Amino acid sequence: MLAWLEAYIASVSIFTPAIFALFVLWIPNVQLAKWVGLLGAGICFLATLHMGYYFQPEVGLQFVERYAWLPQWGISYFVGVDGISLLLILLTSFLTGLLLVGAWRVERSTRAFFALLLFLESGMLGALMAFDLVFFYVFWEVMLIPMYFLIGVWGGQNRIYATTKFVLYTVFGSLLMLVAAICLYLLHKQEFGVWSTSLLDLYRLRVPASQQTWLFAAFALAFAIKIPLWPFHTWLPHAHTEAPTTGSVILAGVLLKMGTYGFLRFAIPLFPVVFTEYAVVLSALGVIGILYGALVAWRQPDAKKMVAYSSVSHLGFVMVGLCATVQSGLSVEALTGAVYQMINHGISTGMLFFLVGVLYDRRHTRMLADFGGLAKPMPWFAVLLIIATLGSVGLPGTGGFVGEFLILLGTFQSNPAMAILASSGVLLGAVYMLTLCRKVLFGPITHPENENLPDISGREALTLAPLALLVIGMGIFPNLFLQKVRPSIEHMARTYMEYRLESQGGSEKGGVL
């Protein structure tokens, strides 16, 4: 039994949440259903832990499963894990488990809520592990549907506008990406004579530079909307503020990373020539995002909106890291830093959203003006908020520092100006984050209702404590995680260099669609 499980561990982790979601919907007793859901998330987490533990960094793609689905079209169910996706997979299963604990007290249609979260988890894990373009696309779209319902049914005042904008904006990019993906599919047939949507086969494709531009643009647009890269970020503040707490956590924690993961997995390796040309542009957009996000966040009266804009800022940082090209190659430090920063952002921003949720549960308001001086009645809350803030800012000793440092290191080697602008983003980050802390925690208690607020309950501690430990742990023991990531990035950089050198020296193929 265990041997069988081990062989199919990837699929087990993808589909277990979905199966348990069906159980949750089926069971009439709400309490039992919640525990069953939690069990499903737990099993999935154990499966991913197993993968994480037995992952060997030097080997490359592991836990691979490949079954032909539509052989005459060359589409197969192809999943696997490598260093780039491993940490994200662990983050996803870990956060979903915490989410279910955090959502324990939801009263309206609890089973549907849990089931949607579990379906979402399946979608995310599938997208992270898929190595076949069609399956990636399927899981990418599947991720949207539960999120749509989560925001639309359990969200705030303006939820319908927020969720419709979110879905339409994302789907717009995705459909163009689908067209580009089909073009790649046809180009592969043209060049190799075989139909295939498998990513490994498509990596070998040498697309002529003229066509690369449009295909890259389509892929980049879809991912840029998801990241969100300035100026495609306008859906984010609405979606985050109107979503229920757990919805915001998973949105910020994992879904946004899908955009950067997409860049890393698809846009960069498939189209290296064009990427190198436009890396500066994307990097500049990232920097604008950092500064814009930080400045706007500073001025927000609503705590959730502030954290939402901080996400724009942080992911701008990740984008700068992704676009750090060194002498027409990829900077391994910056990319590793970007991957690490993705995880850190997920943890610290997830924690921040949980904390804002705690405040909302207490007082049913998110406006910073309604709080103040909470350090006195809620000391543990204060501790956790400070830890989350410092993790978000990137204080040395937290994971954020490691990520930001690596990114800045890599960027400085190629583009010092960009690095200097980005580091000012670190400073601004500290500004608005500490403003948040000051307005919420310190000073005199201005509202009498705040005097007797209950501190963190046991359940809330259960969700927040692991995150806090990770924030600090990832800062003190970064190599534990980085060693798993780095070889895959190095491999990617090597193949990137080979492609670049080949296309510089070789001739352009006249490939026409």
Give contact residues for another protein (rule: CB under 8 A): 69-73, 134, 137-139, 141-142, 144-145, 148-149, 152-153, 159-160, 164, 167-168, 171-172, 175-176, 178-179, 182-183, 185-186, 513
Q: Which is nearer to another protein, 7 or 160 (CB)?
A: 160
| Nearest Cα to Cα of residue 57 among 12, 77, 90, 87 | 87
Smallest distance from another protein to CB 334, Å: 33
415 and 324 Cβ atoms separated by less than 8 Å: yes
Smallest distance from another protein to CB 142, Å: 6
The Cα 336–Cα 483 span in angstroms is 10
Q: Residue 398 pairs with which residues in a beta bridge?
A: 396
Q: Which is nearer to another protein, 77 or 442 (CB)?
A: 77
* E strands, 71-220, in order: 75-81
The Cα 45–Cα 149 span in angstroms is 24
Smallest distance from another protein to CB 460, Å: 28
The Cα 89–Cα 151 span in angstroms is 23
Q: Which is nearer to another protein, 240 or 345 (CB)?
A: 240
End-to-end Cα spacing for the chain: 48
The Cα 63–Cα 9 span in angstroms is 7
Q: Which is nearer to another protein, 214 or 442 (CB)?
A: 214
Smallest distance from another protein to CB 177, Å: 9
Smallest distance from another protein to CB 251, Å: 18
Q: Which is nearer to another protein, 73 or 477 (CB)?
A: 73
Q: Which is nearer to another protein, 152 or 247 (CB)?
A: 152
Smallest distance from another protein to CB 167, Å: 6
CA distance to 57, 80, 149, 239, 493, per residue, from 86 (Å): 10, 10, 28, 27, 18
130 and 143 Cβ atoms separated by less than 8 Å: no
Q: CA torsion, points 320, 346, 385, 293, in degrees to nearest 10?
A: 40
Smallest distance from another protein to CB 508, Å: 20
Q: Which is nearer to another protein, 78 or 137 (CB)?
A: 137
Q: Look up residue 449 and give its amino acid.
A: E
The Cα 302–Cα 290 span in angstroms is 19
The Cα 90–Cα 51 span in angstroms is 9
57 and 83 Cβ atoms separated by less than 8 Å: yes
Smallest distance from another protein to CB 182, Å: 5
| Nearest Cα to Cα of residue 392 among 335, 365, 431, 439 | 431
Smallest distance from another protein to CB 230, Å: 22
